[in-house]
């Protein structure tokens, strides 16, 4: 195994990495509003909470390759089945953390928010979500890193991304190509993780917490 | 009512009629057919043992809870006819657990209601600094702190400032000083009294601390098991408790408590002729408890009582204090 392939094909690998990131972010952008609606329903209507958490948990236990194979007959090849798969598997991390974050906010703070005259949506947007944000962002981080890993399967159904590199390396018995793909995917995941951690540290709650620790 | 903007605060009138709240699944009503008329600018203290329905009554006024039946009218407007969020923007609300917004700085916490009311930036900023001054939190020190950087007492002050921000004509305060040490509590009570004197909001203040009730109230409303059992000034309640329950609750049998409620002028021997030359004097507005200490410390048989202009208007002796402190009649005994 050597890194010659990696450095000789840097341009192509970079292009595939960007495509991989684009697919992953697209999946996240679809997954996030879905998870937010599911979570808010789970938080506002108490009886729905456990069933919803159970459902997104159950979805995650289905083997991903089997799920993708199951999607192909109805969705065909390409981006569509891949995005559906990614959105489904991201739900557990997103919903779990959004629900945990929202239910973890001090009820007295929420009562105060209502008491000063915020409408239910103002309570959600100005107090509830901002306070829960660090926990939610942690969920987004884990979800996105998971999505980036799972999106490799896209290479199997011609959706593009770094999966193409890996699968063609395996099919053509070309270990250097597989290694190059591996390096790229790990770098992408690590970079994403770091970036979101940085965003987490910039939230108002994180700022307040740092200020509190300084006192 | 409150929905038009006011310049300078003045209190609302509040009229509560046949108000009942029954929580789902409980047989007894938490608030049971309560009637109460509150005059503009009154400071009403709701007093009663734990679970008697004080919080429930308070929270129906700003519609955190909805009544089972009955009505609440503020300045002639039925609260049920208003949008809850609109109503609440004109009612200051201080809760026991403070409920400060942990992700907002002190200044942002205080500016929440002005922002909801869409005040312009300058007016809001000015009002916030003014309020931080009023509540004893110099803005240059506190404005940019987070709630986690404040002591319990400071947090309560911010909670008070936040509730006062939009000059609400009505304030609801649910055991706001409950979790504080005695010294801080007394200081905040004094500040509240000063603010009330300055702006004369109508205030409903919940406590189960009789000392606090006595110190603050224009009128005390004594509650028991969801009902009002007595309404009156602190002195009226302590001197003439309606029944054994009230007597025990407010400690009517406690001589010192009664003395701490009666101004010196109510017990003095009025002066006839030239004022005697007495070493010690005390204002007629000072309570007898303090007069008693002075009398005992001085060792003199008499001290002078002075009027508002500082001239002597009467004298006070051990005998006159004893007479004034005679135990009240309790109907049940
Ligand atoms: N959300 C609720 N659901 C059901 N019952 C409630 C609820 N809130 C209060 N109660 C009941 O209603 C009664 C009155 O409660 P409330 O909180 O008004 O009392 P309180 O006078 O404020 O007491 P404390 O001094 O302990 O705060 C109590 O018996 C209480 O158990
Ligand atoms: Mg209470």
Instruction: Give the pLDDT of residue B5.
Output: 41
Closest partner residue to B148 among A127, A131, A212, by Cβ?
A212
Q: What is the DSSP letter of A95?
A: H
- Domain co-membership, B156 together with B266: no
Contact B21, B79 (CB under 8 A): no
The count of structural domains within chain A is: 1
Q: Is residue B250 very low, low, confident or very high in pLDDT (cuts 50, 70, 90)? A: confident
**Euclidean distance between CA atoms A152 and A89, whole angstroms:** 14
Q: Is residue B2's pLDDT more than 60?
A: no
Judged by a CB distance cut-off of 8 A, whether residue A119 touches chain B is yes
Closest residue by Cα to residue B268 from B215, B222, B313:
B313
Q: Is residue A205 part of a domain?
A: yes
Strand B43-47, strand B219-224: pairing: parallel
- Domain co-membership, B208 together with B302: no
Contact B92, B70 (CB under 8 A): no
The whole domain housing A142 covers 4-210
Instruction: Give the pLDDT of residue A35.
Output: 96
- Domain co-membership, B148 together with B202: yes
- Cα A154 to the chain's mean position, in Å? 16
Q: What is the pLDDT of residues B104-138, one digit of tens each?
A: 999 999 999 999 999 999 999 999 999 998 888 99
Among candidate residues B217, B250, B283, the one where a domain is terminated: B250
Q: Which atom of ligand 1 is nearest to the CA of B206?
A: 22
Q: Is residue A110 part of a domain?
A: yes
- Mean per-residue pLDDT, B73-89: 94
Instruction: Give the pLDDT of residue B153.
Output: 87
Q: What is the pLDDT of residues A111-133, one digit of tens each?
A: 999 999 999 999 999 999 999 99
Instruction: Give the pLDDT of residue B18.
Output: 96
Closest residue by Cα to residue A142 from A91, A184, A66, A202:
A91
- Domain co-membership, B184 together with B96: yes
Q: Is residue B3 very low, low, confident or very high in pLDDT (cuts 50, 70, 90)? A: very low
Crossing angle, helix B182-199 and helix B152-164, to 10 degrees? Answer: 10
Mean pLDDT score across all residues of chain B:
89
Q: What is the CATH number of the domain that holds A125?
A: 1.10.3720.10
Instruction: Give the pLDDT of residue B9.
Output: 56
Give the residue, B68 or B262, on which the prediction is more confident: B68
Q: What is the pLDDT of residues B277-291, one digit of tens each?
A: 777 888 888 888 888
Nearest-Cα distance to chain A for B144, in Å, is: 10
- Mean per-residue pLDDT, B286-313: 87
Query: What is the dihedral sign for C-alpha B108, B112, B116, B121?
Result: negative
Instruction: Give the pLDDT of residue A15.
Output: 93
Q: Is residue B213 part of a domain?
A: yes
- Mean per-residue pLDDT, A72-90: 91
Q: Is residue B332 part of a domain?
A: no
Q: What is the CATH number of the domain that holds B285?
A: 3.90.1280.20
- Mean per-residue pLDDT, B26-30: 91
**Euclidean distance between CA atoms B333 and B331, whole angstroms:** 6
- Domain co-membership, B137 together with B283: no
DSSP string, B229-275: EEEE-HHHHHHS-SSHHHHHHHTTT-HHHHHTTSBGGGTSEEP-SSP
Collapsing DSSP to helix, strand or coil, B48 comes out as coil
- Domain co-membership, B234 together with B280: no
Q: Is the CB of B101 under 6 A from ligand 1?
A: no
Closest partner residue to A115 among B88, B102, B149, by Cβ?
B88
Q: Which amino acid residue places its CA nearest to atom 28 of ligand 1?
A: B51
Q: What is the pLDDT of residues B91-110, one digit of tens each?
A: 999 988 889 999 999 999 99
Long-range pairs for B237-245 at CB < 8 Å and ≥24 separation? Answer: B238/B214, B238/B328, B239/B328, B240/B328, B240/B329, B241/B328, B241/B330, B242/B331, B243/B330, B243/B331, B243/B332, B244/B330, B244/B332, B244/B333
- Chain A to chain B Cβ contacts (< 8 Å): 79
Q: Which atom of ligand 1 is nearest to the CA of B24?
A: 4
Instruction: Give the pLDDT of residue B59.
Output: 96
Collapsing DSSP to helix, strand or coil, B301 comes out as coil
Q: How far is the CA of A197 from the centre of ligand 2 (A)?
A: 41
- Mean per-residue pLDDT, A70-75: 89
Instruction: Give the pLDDT of residue B329.
Output: 60
Residue B126, judged by CB atoms within 10 A of its CB (0-12, 13-18, 19+), counts as exposed
Instruction: Give the pLDDT of residue B262.
Output: 82
Q: Is residue A77's pLDDT more than 50?
A: yes
Q: How far is the CA of B136 from the centre of ligand 2 (A)?
A: 27
Q: Is the CB of A115 less than 8 angstroms away from the CB of B62?
A: yes
- Mean per-residue pLDDT, B221-233: 95
Q: Which amino acid residue places its CA nearest to atom 8 of ligand 1?
A: B56
Q: Is residue B155 part of a domain?
A: yes
Instruction: Give the pLDDT of residue B6.
Output: 42
Q: What is the pLDDT of residues B168-211, one digit of tens each?
A: 999 999 999 887 788 888 888 988 998 899 889 999 999 988 88
Contact B40, B11 (CB under 8 A): yes
The partner residues of B21 in beta bridges, in order of sequence, read: B31
- Domain co-membership, B183 together with B136: yes
Q: Is residue B331 part of a domain?
A: no
The residue to mutate among B20, B21, B53, B227, having the most atoms of ligand 1 within 8 angstroms of its beta carbon, is B53
Q: Is residue B81's pLDDT more than 60?
A: yes
**Euclidean distance between CA atoms A140 and A198, whole angstroms:** 13
Closest partner residue to A116 among B88, B103, B146, by Cβ?
B88
Collapsing DSSP to helix, strand or coil, B151 comes out as coil
**Euclidean distance between CA atoms A160 and A164, whole angstroms:** 6
The first and second tokens of residue B191, run together, are: 């500040």
Among candidate residues B200, B220, B250, the one where a domain is terminated: B250
Q: Which atom of ligand 1 is nearest to the CA of B96?
A: 27
Q: Is residue A1 very low, low, confident or very high in pLDDT (cuts 50, 70, 90)? A: low
Locus of tokens 């990495």: A17
Q: What is the CATH number of the domain that holds B125?
A: 3.40.50.300
- Domain co-membership, B288 together with B201: no
The whole domain housing B21 covers 14-250
- Domain co-membership, B172 together with B74: yes
Q: What is the pLDDT of residues A31-61, one digit of tens each?
A: 999 999 999 999 989 999 999 999 999 988 9
Judged by a CB distance cut-off of 8 A, whether residue A201 touches chain B is no
Q: Is residue A215 part of a domain?
A: no
Among candidate residues B185, B215, B250, the one where a domain is terminated: B250
- Domain co-membership, B152 together with B112: yes
The count of structural domains within chain B is: 2
- Domain co-membership, B300 together with B212: no
- Domain co-membership, B137 together with B36: yes
Task: Among A115, A121, A134, A208, pick the best mutation site for testing chain B contact (most B Cβ within 10 A).
Answer: A115
Q: Which amino acid residue places its CA nearest to atom 26 of ligand 1?
A: B50
Cβ contacts (< 8 Å) between B146 and chain A: which residues? 207-208, 211-212
Q: What is the pLDDT of residues A2-27, one digit of tens each?
A: 788 888 888 899 999 999 999 999 99
Instruction: Give the pLDDT of residue A47.
Output: 93
Instruction: Give the pLDDT of residue B327.
Output: 73
């Amino acid at each position: 195994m050597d890194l010659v392939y990696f450095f000789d094909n840097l341009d192509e690998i970079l292009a595939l990495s960007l495509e991989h990131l684009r697919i992953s972010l697209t999946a996240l952008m679809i997954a996030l509003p879905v998870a937010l609606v599911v979570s808010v329903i789970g938080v506002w209507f108490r009886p729905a909470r456990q069933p919803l958490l159970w459902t997104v948990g159950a979805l995650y236990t289905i083997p991903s390759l089997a799920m993708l194979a199951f999607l192909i007959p109805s969705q065909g090849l390409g981006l569509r089945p891949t995005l559906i798969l990614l959105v489904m598997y991201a739900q557990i991390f997103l919903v779990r953390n959004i629900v945990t974050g929202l239910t973890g906010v001090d009820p007295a703070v929420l009562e105060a928010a209502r008491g000063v005259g915020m409408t239910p949506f103002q309570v959600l947007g100005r107090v509830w979500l901002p306070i829960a944000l660090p926990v939610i962002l942690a969920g987004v981080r884990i979800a996105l890193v998971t999505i980036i890993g799972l999106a490799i399967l896209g290479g199997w159904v011609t959706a593009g991304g770094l999966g193409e590199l890996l699968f063609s390396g395996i099919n053509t018995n070309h270990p250097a190509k597989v290694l190059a793909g591996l390096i790229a995917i790990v770098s992408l995941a690590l970079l994403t993780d770091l970036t979101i951690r940085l965003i987490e540290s910039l939230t108002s709650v994180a700022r307040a917490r740092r200020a509190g620790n300084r006192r | 009512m409150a929905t038009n903007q006011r310049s300078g605060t003045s209190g609302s009138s509040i009229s509560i009629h046949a108000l009942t709240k029954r929580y789902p699944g409980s047989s007894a009503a938490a608030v049971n057919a309560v009637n109460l008329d509150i005059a503009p600018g009154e400071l009403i203290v709701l007093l009663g043992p734990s679970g008697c329905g004080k919080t429930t009554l308070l929270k129906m006024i700003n519609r955190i809870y909805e009544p089972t039946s009955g009505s609440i009218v503020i300045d002639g407007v039925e609260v049920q006819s208003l949008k809850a969020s609109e109503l609440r923007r004109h009612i200051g609300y201080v809760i026991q657990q403070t409920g400060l917004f942990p992700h907002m700085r002190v200044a942002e916490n205080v500016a929440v209601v002005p922002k909801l009311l869409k005040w312009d930036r300058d007016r809001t900023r000015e009002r916030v600094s003014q309020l931080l001054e009023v509540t004893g939190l110099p803005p240059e020190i506190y404005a940019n702190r987070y709630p986690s950087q404040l002591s319990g007492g400071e947090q309560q002050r911010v909670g008070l400032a936040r509730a006062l921000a939009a000059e609400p004509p009505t304030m609801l305060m649910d055991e706001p000083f409950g979790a504080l040490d005695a010294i801080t509590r007394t200081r905040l009570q004094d500040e509240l009294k000063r603010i009330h004197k300055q702006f004369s909001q109508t205030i409903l203040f919940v406590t189960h601390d009789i000392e606090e009730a006595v110190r603050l109230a224009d009128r005390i409303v004594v509650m028991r098991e969801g009902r009002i059992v007595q309404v009156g000034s602190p002195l009226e309640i302590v001197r003439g408790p309606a029944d054994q329950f009230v007597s025990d609750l407010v400690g009517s049998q406690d001589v010192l408590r009664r003395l701490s409620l009666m101004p010196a002028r109510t017990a003095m021997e009025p002066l006839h002729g030239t004022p005697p030359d007495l070493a010690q004097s005390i204002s007629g507005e000072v309570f007898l408890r303090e007069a008693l200490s002075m009398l005992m410390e001085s060792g003199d048989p008499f001290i002078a009582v002075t009027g508002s202009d500082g001239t002597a208007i009467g004298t006070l002796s051990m005998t006159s204090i004893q007479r004034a402190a005679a135990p009240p009649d309790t109907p049940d005994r």
